[in-house]
Amino acid sequence: MPSERASPGLKIAAGAGLAFLHLPILLIFLYAFTTEEKSYQFPPPGLTLKWFAVAWNRADIWPPLWLSLQVAAVSTLIAMVLGTLVAAAMAQSRFFGREQVSLLILLPIALPGVITGMALRSAFSVVDIPFSVWTIILGHATFCIVIVYNNAVARFRRLHGGVLEASADLGANGFQTFGYVLLPNLGSALLAGGMLAFALSFDEVIVTTFTAGQQSTLPIWMLTELVRPRQRPVTNVVAIVVVAMTFLPILAAYYLTRDGEHTAGAGK
């Protein structure tokens, strides 16, 4: 019988791995409080809260933040509708090439972001779609659909088909079956998928770079500030906001689906 207690070496290795993953994020948090504006000294010469006030009063931060929220919200809404419909079709149907079609659905999130971005930019150029907020939304929706699909199809597969047949036998129409049978069973999975899709859309930068025109989302603003820094601690303050707005939906999605067979975001 294997031991339930991990060996000291395994604990040290796990701690080293966690430190490697999270120390850079902790450094970003630390330098959001530094008194030094231009350089990264370690340890920081002093700590201050003034950069939070400076960031709050920077007028150039709010339009990218609002745009990121708009893009993430609309992309998530599109993904929840289309991802649920695709999941229903794939889970309830059996046809030749079903596995290949499933692979094609997952492809946008499996490919590197730069490939997806290049493909979308070429497609928009071919059909002469001007680059705007809507091209950013369409670009984000491609991978948000996959996130919602993964959660919805896992829940559909756990749902016994006899439940739908029983609903029809009792005289329920399609809308009643959806509202009283499907939605209660799919609700937490769809909510978790939507939260995860929102988080991934909010901090997306690669696909946005290829699909945006003159618009600037918050991650693009941060990238520009890192290339041409004016007040580096302000960028770190904004990074804390981005971490919070992506971490909280992901955490909520995890807790919503942790008791199920598939946890939200397990494939990402």
Q: How do residues 125-141 score in pLDDT, each as one tens digit?
A: 888 888 888 999 998 99
Domain presence at residue 36: no
Statement: residue 263 has pLDDT above 50? no
pLDDT category at 174 given cuts 50, 70, 90 is: low
Has residue 156 been placed in a domain?
yes
Inside any domain, residue 236: yes
Specify if 26 maps to a domain. Answer: no
Work out how many domains the chain is built from and give that number. Answer: 1
Q: What is the pLDDT of residue 262?
A: 45
Range of the domain at 146: 59-257
| Confidence (pLDDT) at 165 | 63
Q: What is the CATH number of the domain that holds 172?
A: 1.10.3720.10
pTM: 0.78
Highest mean pLDDT among 36-40, 103-107, 259-263: 103-107
DSSP annotation string for the chain: ---SSPPHHHHHHHHHHHHHHHHHHHHHHHHTSBS-SS---SS-S-B-SHHHHHHHH-TTTHHHHHHHHHHHHHHHHHHHHHHHHHHHHHHH---TTHHHHHHHHHHHHHS-HHHHHHHHHHHHHHTTPPPSHHHHHHHHHHHHHHHHHHHHHHHHHHS-HHHHHHHHHTT--HHHHIIIIIHHHHHHHHHHHHHHHHHHHHT--HHHHHH-SS---HHHHHHHHHHS-S-HHHHHHHHHHHHHHHHHHHHHHHHHHTTSSS-TTTT-
Residue 8 lies in a domain: no
User: Which range among 54-63, 156-165, 187-196, 253-262 shows the weakest confidence by mean pLDDT?
Assistant: 253-262
- The whole-number pLDDT of residue 266 equals 46
In a domain, 198, yes or no: yes
- On whether residue 52 sits in a domain, the answer given is no
